[in-house]
Each structure stands twice: as C-alpha cells, then as structure tokens.
Amino acid sequence: MSLDNQGRPQDDDRRAARIRLAKLEADIAYFQTRLQLIGELNSTYRLAQHKAFKILLQVAARQVFAARRNRS
C-alpha cells in the first residue's frame, strides 16, 4: 500500500479496497441466495451444499467486517 504525503492510502489503493469490499458483498448475496434455494435438507448432497455455503458465507462476512474495520 502506498501512502500520500499525509500518511493516507492513495486513490488507487482506496479504489482497490472498495472493489474488494463490493466483491465480498456480492459473494455474500450469492451465498445467501444459494442457501435459500437449496430447500429441504433431505439428501446428503443438499446437506453438504448447505454446510459448504454456510461456511463460505461466514468467511465472507468476517472478511467484510475486517475490511470495513480497516477502512475506518
């Protein structure tokens, strides 16, 4: 990360951080939608899908939280 003369991140770094955050938020929306579309957990495959998307959702949410905390 490069800093300007006042010790703040430069525009390119801030833009990259905003894009990264937007991608993570899109991932969260995707994982939430997939969880809703799985339906009843009446097969091993659906149960595995549910577990995988739930874990991915949790990881993405933690990354968003960390990214927002670092921006502040």
Domain total in the chain: 1
On whether residue 29 sits in a domain, the answer given is: yes
On whether residue 63 sits in a domain, the answer given is: yes
Which pLDDT score, from 0 to 100, does residue 6 have? 61
Q: Give the residue numbers spanning the domain of 52.
A: 11-71
Render pLDDT for 47-70 as a digit per residue (tens, 0 to 9): 999 999 999 999 999 999 998 888
Which pLDDT score, from 0 to 100, does residue 10 have? 74
Which pLDDT score, from 0 to 100, does residue 71 have? 74
Q: How far apart are CA 67 and CA 53, in angstroms?
A: 21
On whether residue 67 sits in a domain, the answer given is: yes
